[in-house]
């Protein structure tokens, strides 16, 4: 018996994607782009807050190291709490960076803080100087915006809006410690 083989029957070849498939892919890409446009700025802001928190903790550690090195808080022999902001903050950070100046002396030029320039500028991630308060009377208690807190050094970044919040913890300010 003779077998006859049929020639290959031509099947229709699919040349590309269907319109429905293209629309599904485009809508998925659009959805992902929409989600990313919301998530990326939030992640960037979270990163800035984390950087500020790390720098604030470094400032507090440097101030405490200064106290350990010289037996007094930087910039004072007084018995009341001291606030370092704007120009005073630059003097403090300059001294902690190893530079001797008139407001805060660092006679041994010990470099206690990395990141501060010699002129005392160490802006937070939003471009403003850090704010530092010391408990100079060593009562282990200070008042910050009407709130009594039990710490010896507090460092603050005023955050994205660059303004001090009306009440601690109500806005975007970043603190070296939790205010409870």
β-bridge mates for residue 153, sequence order:
134
β-bridge mates for residue 155, sequence order:
132
Q: How far apart are CA 129 and CA 72, in angstroms?
A: 23
**Parallel, antiparallel, or unpaired: how do β-strands 147-149 and 142-144 relate?**
antiparallel
Per-residue pLDDT at 135: 84
Per-residue pLDDT at 47: 94
Q: How far apart are CA 55 and CA 81, in angstroms?
A: 22
Q: How far apart are CA 177 and CA 52, in angstroms?
A: 12
Q: What is the largest CA-CA distance in the chain?
A: 118
Q: How far apart are CA 147 and CA 82, in angstroms?
A: 16
Low pLDDT (below 70) residues in the chain:
1-14, 76-80, 86, 101-103, 169, 180
Helix pair angle (87-96, 19-70), 10° resolution: 80
Alpha helices per DSSP H over 3-86: 19-70
Per-residue pLDDT at 22: 93
Burial of 64 (0-12, 13-18, 19+ CB in 10 A): middle
Per-residue pLDDT at 72: 84
Sheet of 174-175: strands edge to edge?
82-84, 131-134, 153-157, 174-175
Provide the percentage of residues in the chain whose pLDDT is more than 90: 27
7-24 pLDDT, tens digit per residue, is 666 666 667 889 999 999
Structural domain boundaries of the chain?
19-175
Per-residue pLDDT at 11: 60
Task: Extract the tokens encoding 153.
Answer: 């050094």
Cα radius of gyration (the chain)? 30
Per-residue pLDDT at 172: 86
133: helix, strand or coil? strand
């Amino acid at each position: 018996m003779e077998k006859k083989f049929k020639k290959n029957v031509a099947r229709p070849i699919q040349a590309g994607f269907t319109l429905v498939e293209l629309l599904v892919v485009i809508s998925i890409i659009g959805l992902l782009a929409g989600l990313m446009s919301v998530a990326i700025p939030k992640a960037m802001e979270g990163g800035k807050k984390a950087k500020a928190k790390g720098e604030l903790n470094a400032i507090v550690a440097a101030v405490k190291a200064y106290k350990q090195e010289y037996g007094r808080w930087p910039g004072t022999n007084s018995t009341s709490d001291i606030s370092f902001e704007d120009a005073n903050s630059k003097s403090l950070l300059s001294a902690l960076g190893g530079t001797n100046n008139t407001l805060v002396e660092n006679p041994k030029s010990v470099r206690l803080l990395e990141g501060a320039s010699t002129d005392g500028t160490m802006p937070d991630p939003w471009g403003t100087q850090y704010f530092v308060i010391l408990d100079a009377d060593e009562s282990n208690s200070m008042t910050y915006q009407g709130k009594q807190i039990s710490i010896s050094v507090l460092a603050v970044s005023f955050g994205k809006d660059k303004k001090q919040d009306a009440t601690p913890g109500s806005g975007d300010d970043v603190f070296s410690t939790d205010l409870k």
